[in-house]
């Protein structure tokens, strides 16, 4: 399976300014992310950015980079712009890897890319939840699947709802109940990546504040790769940055 990884990276961040350029063991974070992508077997890795400092940092470390417009509403729109410049075939697979995932398991990228096939234009990742707190946490996005491993619905609510068990207690999870947490790693066919930004926003997407619901609302399937354990968290805060720096110091 041949695939291209595009890494959207913006310098502006409300919680952690200049995050893509944060030093991790002598290299900027965005470079570390690209190095993880290189270990996935991707045919090509491209950083998509709107800032010259990120462009300079990538070029200094031999990472391919493409400048984009600054006014994209999402990272998906940003990588769609870049993909148009790469002269990719419609059936080429593109993986959207966020620029704040320097410890991502490279195998997740290749496994997600492998799910793209005829009739399945988009894929993502999930893992089983074992914590009661996570199951009832609206900041933890859940997904339920059909028998083919495709998403039926994404929600911040607890889905599926264990009606009888939760009527008795919500202090522990019932036996055999393992809801799935959605992980925001995506793969697309190039044709669908160009279609996605043109799709009308869905009412469900607005209610849940989950962009991937737009895809289901318009009738496109999303395949889901299940990994047995939770991927290492990305970098959103100073505490996250300290945690990741510890990894690169060992």
- Convert the pLDDT of each residue in 138-167 to its tens digit: 999 999 999 999 999 999 999 999 999 999
Given this model, what pLDDT does residue 250 score?
Answer: 65
Residue stretches of the chain with pLDDT short of 70: 13-14, 250
Output the CATH code of domain 3-235: 3.90.550.10
Say what angle helices 106-113 and 29-38 make with each other, to 10 degrees.
60
Task: Check residue 91 and report its DSSP letter.
Answer: T
CB 202 within 8 A of CB 213: yes
Residues near 79 by beta carbon (within 8 Å), at least 6 away in sequence: 6, 8, 48, 94, 96, 193
Question: What is the per-residue pLDDT for 231?
Answer: 87
Summarize pLDDT for 73-108 with one digit per residue, the tens. Answer: 787 888 999 999 998 999 999 999 999 999 999 999
Q: Quick count: other Cβ atoms within 10 Å of Cβ 145?
A: 16
User: Is the N-terminal amide bond of 59 cis, ω within 30° of 0?
Assistant: no
Q: With DSSP H G I counted as helix, E B as strand and the rest as coil, what are the percentages for the chain, rounded to 5?
A: 35, 25, 45
Nearest one of 95, 98, 115, 99 to 40, comparing CA atoms: 95
């Amino acid at each position: 399976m041949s695939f291209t990884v595009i890494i959207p990276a913006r310098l502006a961040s409300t919680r952690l300014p200049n995050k893509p350029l944060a030093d991790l063991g002598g290299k900027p974070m965005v470079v570390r992310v690209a190095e993880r992508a290189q270990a996935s077997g991707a045919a090509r890795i491209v950083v998509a950015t709107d800032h010259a400092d990120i462009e300079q940092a990538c070029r200094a470390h031999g990472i391919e980079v493409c400048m984009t417009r600054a006014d994209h509403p999402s990272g998906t729109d940003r990588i769609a712009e870049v993909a148009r410049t790469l002269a990719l075939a419609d059936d080429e697979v593109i993986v959207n890897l966020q620029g704040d995932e320097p410890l991502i398991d490279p195998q997740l990228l290749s496994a997600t890319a492998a799910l793209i096939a005829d009739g399945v234009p988009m894929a993502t990742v999930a893992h089983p939840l074992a914590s009661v707190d996570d199951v009832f946490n609206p900041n933890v996005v859940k997904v339920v699947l059909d028998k083919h491993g495709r998403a039926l619905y994404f929600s911040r609510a607890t889905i599926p709802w264990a009606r009888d068990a939760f009527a008795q207690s919500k202090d522990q999870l019932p036996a055999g109940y393992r809801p799935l947490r959605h992980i925001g790693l995506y793969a697309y066919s190039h044709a669908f990546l160009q279609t996605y930004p043109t799709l009308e926003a869905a009412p469900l997407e607005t209610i849940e504040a989950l962009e991937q619901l737009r895809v289901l609302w318009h009738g496109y399937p999303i395949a889901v790769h299940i990994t047995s354990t939770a991927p290492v968290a990305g970098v959103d805060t100073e505490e996250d940055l300290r945690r990741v720096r510890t990894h690169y110091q060992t």
